[in-house]
Amino acid sequence: MNSQANKIIDSFSFFHSWEEKYEYLIELGREMSPLNPKFKNDNYLIPGCQSKVWLYCEKKNKKLYFYGDSDALITKGIVAIIIQLYSGLSKKEILLEDEDVFEIIGLRDHLSMTRANGLNLMITKIKQFANN
């Protein structure tokens, strides 16, 4: 498990009610470095989510860096976590990463109950970037 994942898990370990977890998730979304508005177009949109999700990928020194946004706050928080997890890794590391952080922080159940959030679609997209 990469150190980013550990950091996320650590932060979430303070919260026990789902309300607190969502509150923190929303905070993460709010604090995420913004996506350059020029990438907020249909080319970077992930289709199939109920809220809009944009995801942009940049390659620097053999590592991938992700930037994203969403029009919904909870989704944006999920984007923030995913970016924190995968940004700065090599393609290979991304493809190998299969730890379910959302499971560990206790949100998987909530988030997959509300499938329309596109969590799986986002991870699939990240892996696609790493596969190209």
Partner 1 sequence: MSPLDINIIRSKFPFLKTIKNKDFIYFDNAATTQKPETVINAISNFYTNENSNIHRSVHRIGAVATKKYEDTRWIVKDFISARSAEEIVFTSGATEAINLVANSFVKPMLCETDIILASSLEHHANLIPWQMIAKETGATIKMLPIKKAEFIQNSLEQEELDYTINLVELKEFLSTHGDRVKFIAAQHISNVNGGIQDVKELTKLAHSFNIPILIDGAQAAAHIEVNVQDIGCDFYCFSGHKIFGPTGVGVLFGKSLLLKRFQPYQYGGGIVQRVENASTIFREAPQNLEAGTPNIAGVIGMGAAIKFITNVGLQNIQKQELSLKKYLRSKLNKIEGISIYQGHNSLKLNKLFSSPVFSFNVNGVHHYDLAVLLAENNILVRSGDLCSQTFMRVLGVSGCVRASLSFYNTRAEIDAFLLSLKKAIKLLKG
* Footprint of partner 1 (CB under 8 A): 18-19, 22-23, 26, 30, 47-48, 50-52, 71-75, 110, 112-117
32 Cβ contact list (under 8 Å, min separation 6):
68, 69, 76, 79, 80, 83
Pick between residue 46 and residue 88 the one whose CB is nearest to partner 1. 46
The structure tokens listed for 42 are 């249909």
Instruction: Respond yes or no: is residue 57 known to be catalytic.
Output: no
Instruction: Tell the smallest beta-carbon distance from residue 115 to partner 1 (Å).
Output: 6
Instruction: Tell the smallest beta-carbon distance from residue 39 to partner 1 (Å).
Output: 19
State whether the Cα torsion 119-122-124-130 is positive or negative. Answer: negative
Which of 5, 35, 49, 85 is catalytic? The answer is: 49
Query: How far apart (Å, rounded) are the C-alpha atoms in residues 82 and 1?
Result: 14
Query: Which positions are annotated as active-site residues?
Result: 49
